[in-house]
Amino acid sequence: MAVTILAIESSCDDTSVAVIRDGCVLSNLIASQAIHMSYGGVVPELASRAHQANIVPVTHEAIIKAGIIMTDINAVAFTRGPGLLGSLLVGTSFAKGFALSLEIPLIEVNHLQAHVLAHFILEKEKETRLPSFPFLCLLVSGGHTRIIVMKSHLEMEVIGNTIDDAAGEAFDKCGKVMGFSYPAGPLIDKLSGDGNKNAFRFAKPSVKGLDFSFSGLKTSFLYFLRDRLKEDPDFIEKNIPDLCASLQYVIVSILIGKLTKAATLTGIREIGIAGGVSANSGLRSGMEEEAIRRNWNLFIPELRYTTDNAAMIGITGYYKYLRGEFSGHEITPLARY
């Protein structure tokens, strides 16, 4: 019998609902919250209110688009954390109510595990290349930067982590200094296309092992601009593409440098990237070059599965369903998982 999962993602500022059948996406809808743009970051209270307004219509549409009826659903998977507590509460409460009303199991999902499992999402009438285990994955999102060894679908070991800011935060915070709205990562990526990546040099931090640090880069970027603005108040406007390209280049070099080190240390050649920053064109092309040089079997997710989406929650829920890993209704969301 087919296994149909309804998946809910509400950890940050996107309300997303997907329907997954036997690991294959039937629908994956995302309502993004533009309201945060002018605030320079996600405002938690506004985010949870928008989730409340969006969750019922987005679920309704996801079910219709999937071409199923409610009673076809075998289980409800939801993001338990990490994320903003108020936002997670909306998804968790909705998932509980939905599961209770249909008397079907509830499955909690770790958002970070789901980003990595996005590599296992299947599409209708499309061949998907799947990684084999062990799979080495760089997870780069707005809140996390980790190197993970995946031993099976649900077994993961973190072998590298950021000691301060995440890579996405470095993009967003440096973008804010240049006057960009939140999230700045996609805009920096776009503007980099017209810039010279060697125009300005920003120092790479020296962090031992497989760990990362991005807070020093953010500070040196800020001081660099402050000094140049003293000489020329229009420095930023005159140099935006070069600033973006140089900044993106150093962030991508740090990420690829550590991932390459991890590949050498573990001897793993099945390599992937995941999370919002894996949408970055510089990181994607840099990884492709590195893969050719080092003979890696490389996995780069489709753009729609890099940033937050419920399909990745659904695929994780599917593998948990197969193992009978269900949650009780006393479950509460976790800001830190």
Q: Which residue is nearest to ligand KG4 (CB)?
A: 276
Tokens encoding 28 = 């994956």
Measured from the CB atom, the residue of 105 and 175 that comes closer to Zn ion is: 175
In the complex, the smallest distance separating the C-beta of residue 11 from ligand KG4, rounded to whole angstroms, is 7
Measured from the CB atom, the residue of 99 and 118 that comes closer to Zn ion is: 118
Tokens encoding 51 = 């989730």
Q: Using CB atoms within 10 A of its CB, is residue 65 exposed (0-12), middle (13-18) or buried (19+)? A: middle
The site partner of 280 among ligand KG4, Zn ion, none (C-beta below 5 to 8 Å per kind) is: ligand KG4
What are the DSSP calls for 239-306, one per residue?
HHHHHHHHHHHHHHHHHHHHHHHHHHHH---EEEEESGGGG-HHHHHHHHHHHHHHT-EEE---GGGT
Measured from the CB atom, the residue of 142 and 195 that comes closer to ligand KG4 is: 142
The site partner of 73 among ligand KG4, Zn ion, none (C-beta below 5 to 8 Å per kind) is: none
In the complex, the smallest distance separating the C-beta of residue 311 from ligand KG4, rounded to whole angstroms, is 13
Measured from the CB atom, the residue of 168 and 272 that comes closer to ligand KG4 is: 168
In the complex, the smallest distance separating the C-beta of residue 64 from Zn ion, rounded to whole angstroms, is 26
Query: Is the separation of the CB atoms in 322 and 2 below 8 Å?
Result: no
Measured from the CB atom, the residue of 21 and 119 that comes closer to Zn ion is: 119
Separation between Cα atoms, residue 219 and residue 225, nearest integer Å: 10
146-172 burial: b if 16+ Cβ within 10 Å, else e: bbbbbeebeebeebbbbebbbbbbbbb
In the complex, the smallest distance separating the C-beta of residue 243 from Zn ion, rounded to whole angstroms, is 26
In the complex, the smallest distance separating the C-beta of residue 29 from ligand KG4, rounded to whole angstroms, is 15
In the complex, the smallest distance separating the C-beta of residue 337 from Zn ion, rounded to whole angstroms, is 12
Measured from the CB atom, the residue of 67 and 193 that comes closer to ligand KG4 is: 193
Q: 300 — phi, psi (to 5°)? A: -120, 120
Q: Which residues pair with 2 in a beta bridge?
A: none
Q: Which residues bind ligand KG4 (CB under 6 A)?
A: 12, 141-143, 168, 171-172, 183-186, 189, 275-277, 279-280, 307-308
Q: Which residues bind Zn ion (CB under 5 A)?
A: 141, 308
